[in-house]
Amino acid sequence: MKAWSVHLGLLVAVAALALPAGRRTRATAATGGLRVGLVFDVGGLGDKSFNDAAYAGLLRGEKEAGAEIEMLEPSGAADREEALRLFAARGFDLVIGVGFIFSRDIDGVARAYPSVRFACVDYSPPFDGTAIPGNVTGLAFREEEGAFLVGAAAALTSKSGHVGFVGGMDIPLIHKFDAGYRAGVAAVCPTCTVHGTYAGTTPEAFRDPAKGKTIALSQISGGVDVIFHASGSTGHGVFEAAKQHPSVLAIGVDADQWNEAPGKVLTSMTKQADVAVFEAIRATKERRLSSGITVLGLAEGGVDWVHDGPHATLLTAPVVERVEALRREIVAKKRVVPSE
């Protein structure tokens, strides 16, 4: 009796571990073409943000560069490196990791597979000064510049003079959004108060929408009426909170997040992850993918803010004018945005 129950327990445990983390293969018409594997970040496919933007870039690569694409959504830290390794071992031409969290994993796997090209969106170089492997292309953004613009827009739109910032995991990458946003608010409204809250200190802080909603409601009860989030799918809760309060607006991040809460999204700070992914695919195809880190800011079109079209109807003309003037100052290097 005892023995079978132990076996049953083991069987259940093994089944749990053996279940696939979720993968999808898209067979394409391309024959003998470029094979590209992409591994998603914590928020995963369907986050209506960073990952979906990267996915859009991947689809564009399939359509316009004729790449044969595959993707994996890792369920946790241990799966991440495995997923990269899986693509590399199968001889893919390009393996893309979406998110800063891949940086060290990519460095390691790239050394083991020198003939495979790797690209990492939001790449951060090794802290200990180790050289970046020659087959790694790091793509980074000056998020603080985009956050600066939406910070200015938030402060100019707020009626209460209190604006909020919701960060995901408490790390330098998110501090860049925080610092840029605060600087943007201060540039147009020195008397405004920024309420800043981080959801946590682990990668799970990027996918706890219940916590995101609690944080947003807390800020709203403190008088905040415009909230910018940089917190992956935790931000989903921020939009839910905004929907409940008629006078509160939210600001999206990474992609145009209007559809998260139509009519409640003032603007979004966009990061061209789709362009970065697509360019990496195209450059690989044309055998001109360079090594090292490429940093994209406002001047390079790597970051932007939503300020025209049907998703910018909540922005008034004077606000757009003022913020665009600030953008020109940053592009002309007349204004430097702090990153921490």
Partner 1 sequence: MSRVLSLDFLGQAVRVALPYMGAAMGGVLSERAGIVNVALEGTMLVAALAAAWGALSTGSVVVALLSAALAGALVQLVHGTAVVHGKADPIVSGLAINLLALAGTRFLLRALYASSSNSPTIPGQSSSLLRDPASWVVVAVVVATTWTMTRSRFGLRIRAVGEHPEAAASVGVSVPRTQLLAVAAAGVAAGLAGAWLALDQRQFSSKMSGGRGYIALAILVLSGHRPGRAAGIALAFGAAEALELVVQETAKVPHQLVQTLPYVVTLAALVVFGARRRTTAHG
- The binding site for partner 1 (CB under 8 A) comprises 1-2, 4-6, 8-9, 12-13, 15-17, 19-22, 24, 40, 43-47, 51, 73, 75, 164, 170, 195-198, 200-201, 204, 207-211, 213-215, 217-219, 221-222, 233, 236-237, 240, 243-244
What is the smallest separation between the CB atom of 46 and partner 1, expressed in angstroms? 4
| CB of 251 closer than 8 Å to CB of 265 | yes
Q: Whose Cβ is closer to partner 1: residue 57's or residue 209's?
A: 209
Q: Whose Cβ is closer to partner 1: residue 212's or residue 302's?
A: 212
Residue listed under structure tokens 């970046």: 132
Q: Whose Cβ is closer to partner 1: residue 218's or residue 291's?
A: 218
What are all long-range contacts of 249-253, with beta carbons under 8 Å and residues at least 24 apart?
A: 249/157, 249/225, 249/314, 250/216, 250/226, 251/150, 251/153, 251/154, 251/226, 251/227, 252/49, 252/306, 253/49, 253/50, 253/177, 253/228, 253/229
Q: Whose Cβ is closer to partner 1: residue 16's or residue 27's?
A: 16
What is the smallest separation between the CB atom of 43 and partner 1, expressed in angstroms? 7
Q: Whose Cβ is closer to partner 1: residue 85's or residue 245's?
A: 245
Rounded CA-CA distance 299/281 in Å is: 22
What is the smallest separation between the CB atom of 249 and partner 1, expressed in angstroms? 15
What is the smallest separation between the CB atom of 77 and partner 1, expressed in angstroms? 12
| CB of 289 closer than 8 Å to CB of 119 | yes
What is the smallest separation between the CB atom of 329 and partner 1, expressed in angstroms? 30
User: In Å, what is the CA distance from 100 to each residue of 22, 104, 138, 198, 212?
Assistant: 21, 9, 10, 18, 21
